[in-house]
Amino acid sequence: MNSRKLLAFALVLGLGMSAGCSGEKTDKPVSFQKDVYPILKASCAECHTPPDGEGYQKSGLAVSTYEELMKGTKMGPVIIPGQSLNSSLNRLIEGRPGVNPSIQMPHGKVKLPEEKLVMIRKWVDQGAKNN
């Protein structure tokens, strides 16, 4: 009986480790240039481009380049590399509970599709690299 428990424990442990490892291998790196920037360009740049974009004028956030995006707003960064849960950009585009609907992005437009939100979330969680 003791050896059965040990075998069961080893099997469960092995399956758990296998599941954890397989998730990491299937998550390919998200590229800022190929994956994230096209989303920002199509959905955010209209308002967040200096000097005349309304969103840029109000917040100071520009999305035309990686450097501008990482600089953030007049109040500071909107992205914390590796932490999509704590990044303002993710909270605003995902419309998380507690976010005032008047500042949900894109402002006054349809929310981004889930696959685009996931792409940006993964990029931030992977370190928000300029790749």
| 15 pLDDT above the threshold of 50 | no
* 102 token code pair: 């008047």
The predicted-structure confidence for 78-94, as pLDDT tens digits, reads as follows 999 999 999 999 999 99
pLDDT at 26: 53
| 107 pLDDT above the threshold of 60 | yes
CA–CA gap between residue 12 and residue 14 (Å, rounded): 5
12 or 91, greater pLDDT = 91
Instruction: Enumerate residues 6+ apart whose C-beta is below 8 A from 56.
Output: 47, 48, 49, 50, 62
CA–CA gap between residue 14 and residue 84 (Å, rounded): 29
Residues 52-66: what's their mean pLDDT? 96
Q: What is this structure's pTM? A: 0.78
The predicted-structure confidence for 16-27, as pLDDT tens digits, reads as follows 433 444 344 457
